[in-house]
A and B are shown apart, each in its own frame.
Chain A
Amino acid sequence: MKPYIALLAAALIVSNSLAETSTFDFKDPKGVNNVTFTLDAPLESISGTTNGISGTITLDPENPTEVTGKIIVDAKSLRVPNAVMQDHMLGDGWLDTEAHPEISFEVSEILNRQKDGPSGTAEVTGVFSLKGISKKITAPVKVTYLPGRLADRTGGSTEGDLLVVRTTFTFSRSEFGIKPGENLDKVSDTVTVSLAIAGAAPKN
């Protein structure tokens, strides 16, 4: 009899822990989710954006000790204010988006969590992939959990929760094979990336 009780208890614990995790989908039909990137340059900073973002993150929003998921950016959707500059940026000399259509960040670990009401900060470690090169990076994130607010966003058609994630981090373009050591007098090697995205976890 005892083994059955232990098994039942284990099943209850597992189902309880599964019930607490939610998967947030970051594909945003409203086009609000966005990534901005900035490179310093002599005349003016080169700055662009994209809202071609997709991916999911699974975590317990109330107690995010473990996080899994991947955020994907469609590299071809990156946009700068000048059409010629955009063609150069997406072309094979710079990002080569034909060969490398995705930029991604796969979350592997969450550290130094600090909660402040519905929001919290942490350091997220994961694998950042760009132009076919993957490197482990750590980025500071601010997360805001908005339970029951998905209905406000969908005009009441879908019930669920929202998770807002914000982060800013930098990387060296040379380390990702983007004209390493070249054009440093025209465009800085350091790229600053800011991400502001909201994921939706619908409830049935």
Chain B
Amino acid sequence: MKRVLQFTAAIVLAINLAWWFFAGANAGWTKTSVATMKIDAITGIEYPVWEKRFVPGVDFIALGATISGLVLGIAYLPNLYSKKSS
């Protein structure tokens, strides 16, 4: 059981970091929509066009690390194994 939880914690952290990295390694806050700037040909005004896109940020890493840490913490709870052995 301990091994399973340790493995789960490692997988959660790895998926979390890989998702963050391959989604653009955004060093800011998580974004749920992104603005792309375009230029109006007649007026020359630069304007944003929004699209819904999930871009994980540092808070996403923090969430993944917290979940991973909790799972790892459970793996080392003494009661979990004392119940098993009894």
A and B bound?
yes
> Could you tell me if A198 and B45 are in contact, using CB atoms closer than 8 angstroms?
yes
Chain B's closest residue to A199 (CB) is: B43
Q: Is B2 an interface residue (CB 8 A)?
A: no
Q: Which A residues between 147 and 163 are near B, CB-CB below 8 angstroms? A: 149, 152-153, 162
- Give the CA-CA distance A198 to B41 in the complex, in Å: 12
Q: Is B30 an interface residue (CB 8 A)?
A: yes
- Give the CA-CA distance A32 to B27 in the complex, in Å: 29
Question: Chain A contacts of B28 at CB under 8 A?
Answer: 43-44
> Could you tell me if B43 and A82 are in contact, using CB atoms closer than 8 angstroms?
no
Question: Chain B contacts of A146 at CB under 8 A?
Answer: 42-43
Q: Which A residues between 1 and 34 are near B, CB-CB below 8 angstroms? A: 30-34
> Could you tell me if A152 and B42 are in contact, using CB atoms closer than 8 angstroms?
yes
Question: Chain B contacts of A198 at CB under 8 A?
Answer: 40, 42-43, 45
- Give the CA-CA distance A159 to B30 in the complex, in Å: 45
- Give the CA-CA distance A152 to B40 in the complex, in Å: 12
Question: Chain A contacts of B31 at CB under 8 A?
Answer: 81-82
> Could you tell me if B45 and A82 are in contact, using CB atoms closer than 8 angstroms?
no
Instruction: Name the segment of B46-54, B65-73, B78-86 touching the other chain.
Output: B46-54
Q: Is B23 an interface residue (CB 8 A)?
A: no
Name B40's contact: one of A30, A36, A79 (CB within 8 Å): A30
- Closest approach, in angstroms, between the C-beta of B30 and any C-beta of chain A? 6
> Could you tell me if A196 and B46 are in contact, using CB atoms closer than 8 angstroms?
yes
Q: Is B29 an interface residue (CB 8 A)?
A: yes
- Give the CA-CA distance A90 to B34 in the complex, in Å: 19
Q: Which A residues between 73 and 89 are near B, CB-CB below 8 angstroms? A: 79, 81-83, 85
Q: 13 pairs across A/B with beta carbons < 8 Å?
A: A30-B40, A32-B40, A32-B45, A33-B45, A34-B47, A44-B27, A49-B48, A51-B47, A81-B29, A82-B31, A149-B42, A152-B42, A162-B43
